[in-house]
C-alpha cells in the first residue's frame, strides 16, 4: 500500500510520527511524507521519502480589511465581501494546491495529523481515504471522562463525581463557544469558516465535524483516528467508536541534531560518575514549546542542592539561558539541549511538564515521574493520569516549594510502588510494539 503521511510541525509529535512511519515501512508499505520546507531537512536526515508542500498558514487575515482604520469600515467591508473571503481564504490556505499534490501522488491512503486540517480536507476533496492520528488520550465528552484540559481525577472529591465532571464539561465548552463568538464579532474566524465551507463544498457532512476543546479547530466524529497512547493509561470509560489506541511511538533512531564532542563528553562523564558512585539521577526537562517557569526551576535546584547522593541534570530548551539560574550546586548540571533518550535510559526519576511525548518516553524506559503540569492543552489531564495509575506523583509548579519538591523526589526514589507500576506499564507498552498497524488502517 502507498501511504502519504501529513507530518506535524511540533518536534515531539514529529519524532512520534517517525516511529509510525518506520513501523509502516517495516510492514511493507511505501510511505511518502507530505511536509513543508520548514521540516523537510529533518525528514531527509532520517532517510524518509517526502514531497514538499506550500507552507501551512495557521493564521491569516484579509489585509485589505485590516488596513481600514475604523471598526465600522471593517464591518462594512466584511459583509460586502463575504463570498470573496472564502475565495481569498482558499487561495491563502493553498487548499487547491494541496489537493492537486495529493491527486498527482495518488496514494492509497492519507494519514494526517489531526491539526493539519488543510491536508485533511484536501485529501477528502481528492477522494482519497483519510486516517487521522494524534498523541492525545481520549477527549470524548462523557460523564465518566473529564476533559484533558482539567485536573480532575474520577472519584476524587466533588469534581470527580459524575455531576462534577458534567459541570466541568459545561464550563469548558461554554468558554470555547464564548471565545468563538468573540472571534466572530472581531472577524477573526476566517480559517475555521474557510474549512467549514470547503468541507460542505466537497460533500463532507458538517455533522461529522464539531468544535474541538483541544488545539485543532475541529474534531472529527466519523473519520478513523489512531492515537499514540495506551488505553490502559486512560480513566475508565467507553472509547469513541472511531478511536483506536496504537500505543506510544518512541523513535530511538532519530537524528535530533549533531551532538558536539564536548557535549557528548560531558553527558558521558556524568552518566559514568553516576554509575561508579551509585548516585540517583534526576532528569528535569523543560518543554520546548513554552518558556520554563523560572521560580519553579530554581525550586527544583534548591530541592536537590543538599542531597549528595543525587545528581540533577536539567535541560532548559532554547528559550532559557543557563546564566539565569547560575550559580548552581556541584550536583546540578544545566544544558540548553540534551539527547533526552540517552539521559532517560539512565534516569531514576523524571521531572517533566506532563507533555505526552515525555511521558511516553518515560514509559519506554520505565522511569517514574514527578509530573508538574505546564497547564497547557492536555498537560493537566496527562498529569492526572500519571497520578491515577501510580506511575509517579502529580505536583503543582505554582504552589510547591523546594521542600515539597524534595519530599516528592524522595518518595519517587524510595517507594518501590512507583517503579513497580512503571515496569507493569512498560510491559503493556511492549505488547503494543508487537501489534501490526496494517489491520488498523
Q: Given this model, what pLDDT does residue 147 score? A: 94
Q: Given this model, what pLDDT does residue 332 score? A: 94
pLDDT band for position 102 (cuts 50, 70, 90): very high
Burial of 317 (0-12, 13-18, 19+ CB in 10 A): middle
* 234 and 352 inside one domain: no
> Is 325 strand, coil or helix?
coil
The CA-based angle 381-386-391, given to 5 degrees, is 175
Round the CA-based radius of gyration of the chain to a whole number and report it. Answer: 23
pLDDT in tens, 325-359: 878 899 999 988 888 899 999 999 999 999 999 99
Strand partners, 131: 111
pLDDT in tens, 215-271: 888 889 899 999 999 999 999 999 899 999 999 999 998 776 555 566 777 888 888
Give mean pLDDT, residues 49-67.
Answer: 82
Number of domains composing the chain: 2
Q: Given this model, what pLDDT does residue 75 score? A: 77
The CA-based angle 111-115-119, given to 5 degrees, is 50
pTM, rounded to two decimals = 0.90
Residue 319 near residue 325, CB atoms below 8 Å: no
* 217 and 269 inside one domain: no
| Residue 45: domain span | 2-251
Let me know if residue 14 belongs to a domain. Answer: yes
CB-based contacts of 365, cutoff 8 Å, min separation 6: 341, 344, 345, 347, 426
Q: Given this model, what pLDDT does residue 371 score? A: 96
* 83 and 174 inside one domain: yes
> Is 29 strand, coil or helix?
coil
Burial of 28 (0-12, 13-18, 19+ CB in 10 A): exposed
Return the minimum-mean-pLDDT range out of 45-49, 56-60, 280-284: 56-60
Q: Judging by DSSP bridges, how do beta strands 50-52 and 30-35 pair with one another?
A: parallel
How many C-beta atoms lie closer than 10 Å to residue 413's C-beta?
19
Residue 323 near residue 422, CB atoms below 8 Å: no
Q: Given this model, what pLDDT does residue 19 score? A: 96
Residue 148 near residue 382, CB atoms below 8 Å: yes
Q: Given this model, what pLDDT does residue 216 score? A: 83
In this predicted structure, the answer to whether residue 69 has a pLDDT above a threshold of 80 is no
pLDDT in tens, 121-178: 999 999 999 999 999 999 889 999 999 999 999 999 999 999 999 999 999 999 988 8
Residue 81 near residue 116, CB atoms below 8 Å: no
pLDDT band for position 32 (cuts 50, 70, 90): very high
CB-based contacts of 46, cutoff 8 Å, min separation 6: 18, 253, 254, 255
Please, what is the average pLDDT of the chain?
90
CATH number of domain containing 395: 3.40.50.2000
pLDDT in tens, 400-425: 999 999 999 999 999 999 999 999 99
Let me know if residue 440 belongs to a domain. Answer: no
* 73 and 213 inside one domain: yes
Q: Given this model, what pLDDT does residue 207 score? A: 85
Let me know if residue 438 belongs to a domain. Answer: no
Q: Judging by DSSP bridges, how do beta strands 218-220 and 209-211 pair with one another?
A: antiparallel
* 234 and 297 inside one domain: no
Q: Given this model, what pLDDT does residue 320 score? A: 74
Give mean pLDDT, residues 18-47.
Answer: 94
How is residue 324 annotated by DSSP? Answer: G
Let me know if residue 417 belongs to a domain. Answer: yes
* 96 and 160 inside one domain: yes
Let me know if residue 272 belongs to a domain. Answer: yes
Nearest to 382 by CA among 210, 176, 146: 146
Residue 249 near residue 26, CB atoms below 8 Å: no
In this predicted structure, the answer to whether residue 399 has a pLDDT above a threshold of 80 is yes
Q: Given this model, what pLDDT does residue 257 score? A: 56
Let me know if residue 103 belongs to a domain. Answer: yes
In this predicted structure, the answer to whether residue 198 has a pLDDT above a threshold of 70 is yes
Separation of alpha carbons 216 and 133, rounded Å:
12
Q: Given this model, what pLDDT does residue 78 score? A: 73
Last residue of a domain, one of 199, 225, 251: 251
Nearest to 308 by CA among 346, 279, 333, 285: 279
* Residue whose cell numbers read 475565495: 87
Let me know if residue 256 belongs to a domain. Answer: no
* Percent with pLDDT over 70 in the chain: 95
* 228 and 332 inside one domain: no
* 85 and 151 inside one domain: yes
pLDDT in tens, 288-329: 556 668 889 999 999 999 999 999 999 887 677 777 787 889
* Cell reading at 371: 509530573
* 173 and 276 inside one domain: no
* 211 and 321 inside one domain: no
> Is 76 strand, coil or helix?
helix
Last residue of a domain, one of 221, 251, 281: 251
Let me know if residue 15 belongs to a domain. Answer: yes
Q: Given this model, what pLDDT does residue 217 score? A: 84
pLDDT in tens, 75-101: 777 777 767 777 878 888 899 999 999
Last residue of a domain, one of 224, 251, 278: 251
Strand partners, 335: 315
* 160 and 278 inside one domain: no
* 183 and 293 inside one domain: no
Amino acid at each position: 500500500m502507498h501511504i502519504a503521511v501529513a507530518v506535524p510541525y511540533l518536534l515531539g509529535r514529529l519524532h512520534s510520527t517517525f516511529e509510525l512511519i518506520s513501523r509502516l515501512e517495516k510492514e511493507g508499505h511505501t510511505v511518502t511524507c507530505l511536509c513543508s520546507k520548514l521540516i523537510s531537512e529533518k525528514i531527509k536526515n532520517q532517510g524518509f521519502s517526502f514531497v514538499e508542500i506550500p507552507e501551512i498558514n495557521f493564521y491569516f487575515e484579509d489585509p485589505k480589511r485590516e488596513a481600514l482604520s475604523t471598526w465600522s469600515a471593517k464591518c462594512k467591508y466584511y459583509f460586502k465581501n463575504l463570498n470573496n473571503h472564502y475565495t481569498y481564504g482558499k487561495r491563502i490556505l493553498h487548499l487547491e494546491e494541496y489537493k492537486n499534490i495529493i491527486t498527482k501522488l495518488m496514494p492509497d491512503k492519507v494519514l494526517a495529523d489531526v491539526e493539519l486540517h488543510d491536508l485533511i480536507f484536501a485529501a477528502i476533496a481528492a477522494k482519497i481515504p483519510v486516517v487521522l492520528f494524534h498523541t492525545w488520550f481520549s477527549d470524548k465528552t462523557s460523564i465518566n471522562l473529564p476533559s484533558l484540559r482539567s485536573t480532575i481525577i474520577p472519584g476524587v472529591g466533588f469534581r470527580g463525581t459524575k455531576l462534577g465532571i458534567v459541570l466541568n464539561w459545561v464550563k469548558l465548552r461554554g468558554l470555547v463557544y464564548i471565545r468563538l463568538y468573540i472571534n466572530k464579532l472581531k472577524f477573526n474566524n476566517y480559517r475555521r469558516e474557510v474549512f467549514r465551507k470547503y468541507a460542505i463544498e466537497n460533500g463532507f457532512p458538517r455533522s461529522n465535524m464539531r468544535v474541538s476543546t483541544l488545539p485543532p479547530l475541529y474534531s472529527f466524529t466519523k473519520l478513523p483516528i489512531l492515537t499514540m497512547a495506551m488505553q490502559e493509561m486512560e480513566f475508565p470509560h467507553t472509547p469513541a467508536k472511531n478511536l483506536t489506541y496504537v500505543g506510544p511511538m518512541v523513535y530511538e533512531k532519530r537524528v535530533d541534531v549533531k551532538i558536539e564532542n564536548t557535549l557528548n563528553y560531558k553527558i558521558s562523564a556524568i552518566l559514568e560518575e553516576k554509575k561508579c558512585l551509585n548516585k540517583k539521577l534526576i532528569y528535569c526537562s523543560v518543554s520546548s514549546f513554552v518558556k520554563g517557569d523560572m521560580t519553579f526551576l530554581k525550586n527544583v535546584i534548591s530541592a536537590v542542592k543538599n542531597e549528595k547522593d543525587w545528581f540533577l541534570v536539567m535541560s532548559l530548551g532554547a528559550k532559557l539561558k543557563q546564566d539565569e539560574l547560575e550559580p548552581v550546586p556541584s550536583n546540578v548540571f544545566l544544558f540548553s539541549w540534551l539527547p533526552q533518550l540517552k539521559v532517560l535510559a539512565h534516569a531514576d526519576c523524571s521531572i517533566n511538564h506532563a507533555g505526552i511525548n515525555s511521558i511516553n518516553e518515560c514509559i519506554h524506559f520505565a522511569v517514574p515521574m514527578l509530573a508538574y503540569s505546564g497547564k497547557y492543552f492536555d498537560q493537566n489531564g496527562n498529569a492526572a493520569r500519571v497520578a491515577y495509575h501510580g506511575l509517579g506523583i502529580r505536583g503543582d509548579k505554582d504552589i510547591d516549594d523546594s521542600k515539597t519538591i524534595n519530599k516528592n523526589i524522595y518518595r519517587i526514589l524510595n517507594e518501590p510502588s512507583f517503579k513497580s507500576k512503571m515496569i507493569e506499564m512498560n510491559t503493556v507498552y511492549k505488547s503494543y510494539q508487537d501489534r501490526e498497524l496494517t489491520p488498523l488502517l
